[in-house]
Structure 1
């Protein structure tokens, strides 16, 4: 372990990498005895695999029984530092990587980043993108804006809506969005659904978006705005989240954005990514690349740290794993509005494999879905009863 800990001092590290290494080393010093007890056989020559190895050693191979309670937060911070370092180093490769290298990276990591599920979210958003926010059912609005709730039936929303950028902690944003969806529509109307977007059009969006908040005594924040922009134009806007902002800004070589830096987001993030070689030369030679080119501004999200536990962290997977609702349960279920239930049921009944006698039970299915039962669950029950 000692050899592993000191090996980056013999690597050729840039200033950013060296600062990261020194911070990791400082954090590790408080766990030195515990770390020394971990057997290490892999000694990488480069900093990125070194970060992966130290993370594995300290997280997966350490004897937690020997840790003092006060050491657990120290270890957690070390893991956070290593994960942030890995994200920084991987996103940084985008500054020089050509398109083929980028597409191969995504392909090779498709399982750990839950690529299929993320692409299902993208596909669903594409199907509702032309709708106004005020006309969306509540569930679709949650999907577009990036907030998971239990009302999202996994048989319809077969993805975690919080991929790319979660906005669940942006309470004032979601309150404004629920109360004034038309005002957000007015802001997004400044962003064309296709073609180039000028800085002036972006600034018009920012002005209208900010006005929604200032008119109601709230401060506009950048992160939720980037989620809306990224879902409207995933080929142009990269969403940001506070927990990944250090890695993203560091990788792009720009000072960390504040949550009010709307102008710098355009200059440093949007235009910075658009200036990269892989972004400019992106072209499709297979089906996966066709999907990636259409959402190329989201590609940096695939370069953040992920491991084999990442897919299981999906809210969609967690919903699937929840025990089935019992008929004897006395707890409250999540009811849906009639309009939401009707739209969700009609979408499901439009499938080619739904027989006509099941479609004739539409009203009964809607009633059950309104009560909180899943759409597919209800249709399956109808099939069992009526054949």
Structure 2
């Protein structure tokens, strides 16, 4: 273990990496005896591999039974530092990596990234990128803006809507969005649905977004705005989230953005990513590359740290596996849906050519069941079981 801990001192680390290494060493001091008790056979020669190895020690191989209670926060802090370091190092490769290398990394890590599920989200939202928020049903608006809810039917929303950047903590934003969706539509209307997006387009959006908060007690913040922009134009805008912002800013070589840095988001994030080699020279060799090219500004999100638990932590997976709870009256506790949402979801499902006409004739009955909280697929399945 001692050899592992000191090995980065023999690596050719840059200034940022050296500072990260020193912070990790400092955090390791309090639990040094516990770390020394772990047998290490793998000694990576690169700093990224070193971070992965030490993280594995701190998460899976250290003996937690021998740790005092006051040491547990230290271990957690060490894990967080290593995760942030891994994200930074992987994101930093975006500065110089060509398109084939970017695609190769994503494909290599597709399982831990839950790539298939993430692409389902972007594919679902693609047809509604130009749809006004005020015309969307509530569930689609949640999917577009990145906030999970128990009302999302897993047979329709077979993905976690919070991939790329969650906005669940932006309560003020969501309250305003529910009350005045048209104000955010006015802001988004300044962003062309295709073609080039200029700084003037972005500034017009920014003015509209800030204006949506005028006269309210809520303060406009950057992260939800970037989610809106990224879902409208995933080939231009990269969403940010506060818990990952340090790694992104370090990798881009910029000072940390605060939650009101609207102007710097364009100049330091959007423009920095736009000038990277892979971004300017995308190719579409195969179906996966074609999908990735269409959402190329989202690709940095795939370079944050992910492990085998990432996919299982998807809100979609959790909702899918959530045990059914019973109410006091003995019935099943469900989340009711609005009639408009139920109608839209059912009509989408019934548009499938494989649905027979006699099932389509049961549309009103299906809608009534979906309103009560039953999933669309389950309801149609029951109808087919009963009526053939």
TM-score under structure 2 length normalisation: 0.98
User: Structure 1 residue 331: deviation in Å?
Assistant: 6.0
Residue matched to 1:347: 348
Residues 150-159 or 330-339, more deviating? 330-339
Distance 1:202 1:217 in 2: 24
- Could you list the per-position Cα deviations for residues 328-369 of structure 1 after superposition, in whole angstroms to 9, with x for gaps in the alignment? 744642111000000001111111221222111111111111
SS of the aligned residue for 2:111 comes to: coil
Residue matched to 1:337: 338
Distance 1:282 1:325 in 2: 48
- Could you list the per-position Cα deviations for residues 73-99 of structure 1 after superposition, in whole angstroms to 9, with x for gaps in the alignment? 111111111000000000000001011
Residue matched to 2:7: 7
Q: 1:66-77 to 2 correspondence within 5 Å? A: 66-77=66-77
Q: 1:261-280 to 2 correspondence within 5 Å? A: 261-280=261-280
Residue matched to 1:370: 371
Residues 66-75 or 336-345, more deviating? 66-75
Residue matched to 1:59: 59
SS of the aligned residue for 1:214 comes to: coil
Q: Are 2:141 and 1:138 aligned?
A: no
Q: Are 2:225 and 1:225 aligned?
A: yes
Distance 1:270 1:184 in 2: 20
- Could you list the per-position Cα deviations for residues 203-237 of structure 1 after superposition, in whole angstroms to 9, with x for gaps in the alignment? 01001100111321321100000000000000000
Residue matched to 1:49: 49
- Could you list the per-position Cα deviations for residues 353-386 of structure 1 after superposition, in whole angstroms to 9, with x for gaps in the alignment? 2122211111111111101111111111112222
Residue matched to 1:289: 289
Structure 2 contact 30–74 (Cα < 8 Å) conserved: yes
Distance 1:350 1:268 in 2: 44
Residues 35-44 or 315-324, more deviating? 315-324
Check 1:280–1:318 CA distance in 2 against 1; reply closer, same or farther (3 A cut).
Answer: same
Distance 1:74 1:354 in 2: 57
Residue matched to 1:321: 321
Q: Are 2:39 and 1:39 aligned?
A: yes
Residue matched to 1:382: 383
Q: 1:81-160 to 2 correspondence within 5 Å? A: 81-160=81-160
Structure 2 contact 173–218 (Cα < 8 Å) conserved: no
Residue matched to 1:309: 309
SS of the aligned residue for 1:297 comes to: helix
User: Structure 1 residue 324: deviation in Å?
Assistant: 4.4
- Could you list the per-position Cα deviations for residues 232-258 of structure 1 after superposition, in whole angstroms to 9, with x for gaps in the alignment? 000000000000000000000000001
Distance 1:217 1:57 in 2: 47
Residues 120-129 or 47-56, more deviating? 120-129
In structure 2, runs of 5+ residues without a counterpart are: none
Distance 1:320 1:247 in 2: 31
After superposition, the CA RMSD in angstroms is 1.2
- Could you list the per-position Cα deviations for residues 290-309 of structure 1 after superposition, in whole angstroms to 9, with x for gaps in the alignment? 00110000000001001111
SS of the aligned residue for 2:101 comes to: helix
Q: Are 2:249 and 1:249 aligned?
A: yes
Residue matched to 2:204: 204
Distance 1:354 1:67 in 2: 59
SS of the aligned residue for 1:31 comes to: helix
Structure 2 contact 223–239 (Cα < 8 Å) conserved: yes
Structure 2 contact 326–333 (Cα < 8 Å) conserved: no
Distance 1:9 1:380 in 2: 62
Distance 1:70 1:154 in 2: 41
Residues 323-332 or 89-98, more deviating? 323-332
Q: Are 2:184 and 1:184 aligned?
A: yes
Structure 2 contact 129–233 (Cα < 8 Å) conserved: no
Distance 1:384 1:340 in 2: 24
Superposed structure 1 runs of 4+ greater than 3 Å apart: 324-332
Distance 1:46 1:61 in 2: 21
Distance 1:383 1:31 in 2: 61
Distance 1:138 1:375 in 2: 16
Structure 1 contact 214–220 (Cα < 8 Å) conserved: no
TM-score under structure 1 length normalisation: 0.98
Structure 2 contact 227–240 (Cα < 8 Å) conserved: yes
